[in-house]
Amino acid sequence: MTETTMTETGMTETILVINAGSSSIKFQLFDVADGTLPGRLRGRIEGIGTAPRLVLQDGSVPLPAESGDGVPGALAFLGAWLRERLSGAMPVAVGHRVVHGGPAYDTHVAVDDTVIGTLERYVPLAPLHQPNNLAPIRAIRKLLPDVLQVACFDTAFHRHHSEPADRYAIPDSLYQEGVRRYGFHGLSYEYIAGRLPDLAPGIAGGRVVVAHLGSGASMCAIQDGRSVDSTMGFTALDGLPMGTRPGQLDPGVVLYLMDKGTDARAIERLLYHDCGLKGLSGISNDVRDLLASTDPRASLALDCFVYRASLAIGALAAAMGGIDGLVFTAGIGERAPAIRKAIAERARWLGFDLDEAANAANALCITTPDSRVKGCVIPTDEERMIALHTRNILRRHRSA
C-alpha cells in the first residue's frame, strides 16, 4: 500500500532534520515521499547566544529579541517560522544528529525519556557535541510533545567492527563498561557508502578508504559497503589532527599535564579547543586561512595534517588487506585541491596516480585512467542520511 504523504489539510508531509552545534543549528526540510525524499528547504540559525539570525540561500534574517534565549529561543522562532512557511502544517517527525550512541545504541532510535537519560550519561564521551545535540531534542519535546523525534548516531555505522579493531589493550572490565573504540562521522560514511554503487561502481564492493576531512576530521576503511575500522576511537579526539583537536596523542601527555597540576576541565578545554591546526599554527583552525598564509607555522600545521592523513591511509589499507579506492569528502576533502594533492603524492606507493587537472576542478574522479587506486571527490550529505533513517522509523511507528 502506498505511504500516506499528505496531512489532513492537504499539505505534503515533511521531516525536519536538525544538526545542532554550540552556536548554530543547521536544518533541512524533506518531503515525505516514496523513494527520493526530495529536499524542500535548508538553512541555519547562527549566532545563538549573541546575535541570532536565520540564514537562508536568499539572505539572512535577524531573529527578534525574545528568541535570544539560547537554543530553546532559537527553536521556538524556527518552529513559528516553519509553521508560517508551511501554512500551519508542522513536520510529522524530527531527526537529529547525535554524535555518541555509546555502548547502548548500535542503531538509530525513536526518542523517549529513557533514551534521553541514557544519552546524557555519554556527555563526557563527547563534551564538545553531545550537549548541543541533546538541547534541541529537549526543546522540541516541550514545543511539540506529540511529534516523533529520532536520534541518529555518528557511532552506529561503526558498531559491527571486529573485536581486535574495537579493543584497547586494557583490562576487560573497562571494555565491559564501554571503554572501546567507537569511531565517528558514521552518518557521513554511511552516505558515501550508499552513493558509491551509482558514482563509482568499480570500487563500491571493494576496499575503500574514505577521508572525511573538515574541522573535525577522520578516515574510515569501508569494505563491501561496511565499516571495518576508523581513525577515531573512544572519543572524537583520536586519529587525525583537526581544527582544534590534536588527534592521536600519547596518554603520557595527559599524565604530564596532570602532574603539572592542570585539572581535568583545563585539559579538556586544551584538547578540544586549543590544539590541532590552531595549536600548531598559532594562527587559525581554518585550512583556508593556513593555505593563504606565508607564515612558516601555517605550512608546518598543514604538513603535519597531510603527514598524519597519509599514515592513516596506509593503516586502514592494512586493515582491509589492500585498497581499491580513496574518497575525499567534507569541507576540506571536497574543496581543498592543494590538500588532496599533497595527500595523493604521499599515497603514490599504494598505486594512487593523481590527475592534477581533474583534482584542481574538484571533479568526481581525480585519478588517471591507469591509476590502480581510484580516487574520487564525493560531497557528503549527513542530513539526508538522517532523513532516511527518520522516515524508516516513522513508517515502523505507523505500521505498529
Active site (catalytic) residues = 154
DSSP string, 23-87: S-EEEEEEE--TTT--EEEEEEEE-TTSS-EEEETTEEEEPPGGG-SHHHHHHHHHHHHHHHHTT
Tell me, what DSSP letter sits at residue 155? T
Q: How many CA atoms lie within 13 A of 214 on its CB side?
A: 13
Strand pairing report for 109-110 and 25-31: unpaired
User: What φ, ψ does residue 379 adopt, rounded to 5°?
Assistant: -60, 135
State how far the alpha carbon of 56 is from the alpha carbons of 16, 149, 158, 361, in Å. 15, 24, 33, 27
Q: How far apart are CA 262 and CA 291, in angstroms?
A: 33
In what helix (H) or strand (E) does residue 365 lie, and over which residues does it extend? none
3-state SS class at 317: helix
DSSP string, 223-252: ETTEEEEES--SSTTSSS--SS---S--HH
Cell of 22: 554550540
Q: How many CA atoms lie within 13 A of 260 on its CB side?
A: 10
